[in-house]
Amino acid sequence: MRPGAMTAESLVRETVAALRAHAPFSEMTIEDVDFVARHARLQYFGATERILEPGVDHPPGCFIIRQGGVEGVLPGESGGVAASPLVLGAGDLFPMGSLMGKRPPRTRYAALSDLFCWLLPTEHFEQLLARSEVFTDFCRRRMAVLMELSMRAVQANYSAQSAQWRLMSQPLRAMVRREPVWCRADTPLGEALATMEREMVGAMLIVDESSGGPIGIFTRQDVIGRIVLPERSLDSPISAVMSAPVSALPASATVADATTLMADRSIRHVPVVDGGRVIGMVTERDLFALTRRNLRQLSDSIVRATHPEQLISVAAEIREWSRSLVAQGVAAHHLTHLISRMNDQLTRRLVAMLAESRGIDLASFCWLAFGSEGREEQTIATDQDNGIVFDDTCPPESQTALLALGQSVNQWLDRSGFPLCKGGIMAGNPECCLSLSHWQTRFARWVSHGSPQNLLNASIYFDLRPLAGNMDLGQRLQAMIAPSVQQSARFQKLMSDNAQRSNPPRFLATGVLGMLAPESGSVDLKLQGTMPMVDVARLLCLANGIIQSGTVARIEALIQHAVVDANEGRGWIDGFNFLQGLRLRVQHLQPAGVPLTANPNLIELDTLSPLDRRILVEALRQVRKALQRLTLDYP
């Protein structure tokens, strides 16, 4: 072999090794990475040197950063510095939007420092798309793919805490152990019960023979209340006692999806369907076989509690249970939803117990959740944000009793691990225990005459969700908020200005610059990450008359109403979920019994893997893009 050829082969091997240190090349076949190495050319750019200019008809190809940093700036911005700059580092690719859309680039790219990058010519970039599904998938949904890789690393890292962490990400198809036990709607009760006993199952599915889809369900828990006590004839059709409609999930849904559904609907059985036909059933026992305490056990402990003191230990178990779910790899949006659902149950029981002990009728008021609880986005480090609304006809002595009830609930929640709100947004505060008309007047005053500071203090109220008691009162209050905001351009502008006070940090090749903690290597994941995204989603929904409480649900609704582009919205969701996931890892993966740090949302960058640092850069860029949307809508 000629010496030159040997040198060339050595260079290819070196390039392959360098590429495989980064996604997506780390997931691609060696043959496809070798293809890149053989066709890419290494290039050098000096600090501040322009790499690509907007309007270039055809970018020369895909740039892959080997060493150094690149900043992308949208043209026409003051001083040439973008409000939402694209900052890239080792392993990043650009200009992806231009290459995938086959259009001129819209961004000016320049080197931040001495820069070495490979250039894969457009011709070979397109050939790579055709030959590598992994590469194509990455190019189409970069953020989601990086998050999946990060979650795999988290799960592997914490697998010692939960030997079978893979459970929560498994498709339900893999959980189906047997053929479904089912019958027709006209099957006599006696025959259906005999089948359940013979097959040793806790539930019978009622299926439409023509479609094969589930139309109802009957469980052992229904026997006493629906058959024995009413003395119903066993010749009656099972359709007379079945629960309908039935909550089912597709076979492609995950265990985490089923877990969330069970928590939402307070059910123990979920039929699994494929192509509309039922293929089996999963139970709560199937899904939580790996945890010491499952949803049903925790729920039963809450229901059986006869004194608030008993709920203190249950609250601690909920926090420990949630830690185990993090270790099992449950996605952030599932986990925060589950935590919120369990905390909802605990709060409802506490409110009911204390109301009963004081002779207060639950129908006379509604307990309201605000903030993260209202959005169903609670983490372990969550204080209280709640209130009470009662009917305008409520007499003064009853109003006094409701205020005292609110104060008592607040104190018991504090003892259960939910700290008192430093801002006083609690039902025990007279300003948060109001009649329906007073609440409406308060919201109307904020919308019509509120100052920027009033708005800063009041934003948390706009995430309200009825939680306990007379839900109609809460729903009536909830329904009037969006229309009032939708009609006030002034208030929308104030909300936009308030949201844009946030300053997500910029990452450079040399570190992190921006509004950070005293230690420059830290990021406040709440103040600089999730909170501005919450603000953007809230405002855009209120401005468009959309009633939703959760941030992800709000963004999905904005996509459905064509307020936000689908690709843009999915980027926001991915960024938000990753930031929430990092918050959970900071808060939940501390050793049991160790107090939370002074700021449980602060993360030290040197504790992150290179992959997670890379995703964090992208997630914060999504936050800046969302804020930039407000800049365009509310100049």
pLDDT in tens, 468-489: 999 999 999 988 887 888 888 8
Token pair belonging to 162: 């939960």
Task: Specify the range with the lowest mean pLDDT, choosing from 77-81, 217-221, 299-303.
Answer: 77-81
Q: Where are the domains of the chain?
A: 3-140, 178-284, 295-448+456-480, 499-633
* Annotation: CATH topology of 3-140: Jelly Rolls (2.60.120)
Confidence of residue 515 (pLDDT cuts 50, 70, 90): very low
* Annotation: CATH topology of 178-284: CBS-domain (3.10.580)
Q: If you average pLDDT over each of 47-56, 456-465, 497-506, 600-609, which comes out highest?
A: 47-56
| Cα–Cα distance, 45 to 263 (Å, whole number) | 55
Q: Kindly indicate whether the domain formed by 499-633 is annotated with CATH number 1.20.120.
A: yes
How far is Cα of residue 534 from the mean position of the Cα atoms in its chain? 11
Residue bearing the bigger pLDDT, 458 or 274: 274
Residue 360 CB partners (closer than 8 Å, separation 6+)? 398, 401, 402, 405
Q: If you average pLDDT over each of 105-109, 156-160, 263-267, which comes out highest?
A: 105-109
| Cα–Cα distance, 204 to 284 (Å, whole number) | 15
Q: Taking residues 308-323, what's their average pLDDT?
A: 86
Q: Dump the DSSP string for 555-609.
A: HHHHHHTTSS-HHHHHHHHHHHHHHHHHHHHHHHSSPTTPPPPSSTTEEEGGGS-
pLDDT at 200: 86
At residue 149, does pLDDT exceed 50? yes
Q: What percent of the chain has pLDDT over 70?
A: 86
Confidence of residue 157 (pLDDT cuts 50, 70, 90): low
| Cα–Cα distance, 382 to 371 (Å, whole number) | 10
pLDDT at 398: 96
Q: Taking residues 183-212, what's their average pLDDT?
A: 94
Residue 28 phi/psi, 5° resolution?
Answer: -85, 160
| Cα–Cα distance, 100 to 126 (Å, whole number) | 9
Q: Could you give the dihedral angle defined by the CA atoms of residues 289, 295, 298 and 304, in that order, rounded to the nearest 10 degrees?
A: -110
pLDDT at 16: 94
At residue 506, does pLDDT exceed 50? yes
Residue bearing the bigger pLDDT, 347 or 91: 347
pLDDT at 83: 46
* Annotation: CATH topology of 295-448+456-480: Beta Polymerase; domain 2 (3.30.460)
Q: What percent of the chain has pLDDT over 90?
A: 46
Q: Which of 407, 479, 406, 467 is nearest to 436 (CA)?
A: 479
pLDDT at 457: 65
Residue bearing the bigger pLDDT, 370 or 148: 370
pLDDT at 382: 78
| Cα–Cα distance, 573 to 575 (Å, whole number) | 5
Q: Could you give the dihedral angle defined by the CA atoms of residues 562, 134, 26 and 149, in that order, rounded to the nearest 10 degrees?
A: 40
At residue 5, does pLDDT exceed 90? no
Residue bearing the bigger pLDDT, 416 or 503: 416
At residue 152, does pLDDT exceed 70? no
pLDDT at 269: 93
| Cα–Cα distance, 308 to 224 (Å, whole number) | 30
pLDDT at 91: 87
Q: What angle do CA 601, 607, 612 make, to 5 degrees?
A: 85
Q: Which of 173, 341, 340 is nearest to 265 (CA)?
A: 341
Which residues on neighbouring strands pair with residue 243, listed in sequence order? 217
Strands 70-73 and 108-111: antiparallel
pTM: 0.67
Contact 89, 65 (CB under 8 A): yes
Q: Taking residues 141-163, what's their average pLDDT?
A: 56
| Cα–Cα distance, 423 to 404 (Å, whole number) | 19
Q: Taking residues 36-47, what's their average pLDDT?
A: 94
pLDDT at 335: 82
How far is Cα of residue 72 from the mean position of the Cα atoms in its chain? 28
Residue bearing the bigger pLDDT, 152 or 240: 240
Neighbour tally for 596: CB within 10 Å: 12
pLDDT at 510: 40
Amino acid identity, residue 430? P
pLDDT at 585: 81
What's the mean per-residue pLDDT of the chain?
Answer: 84
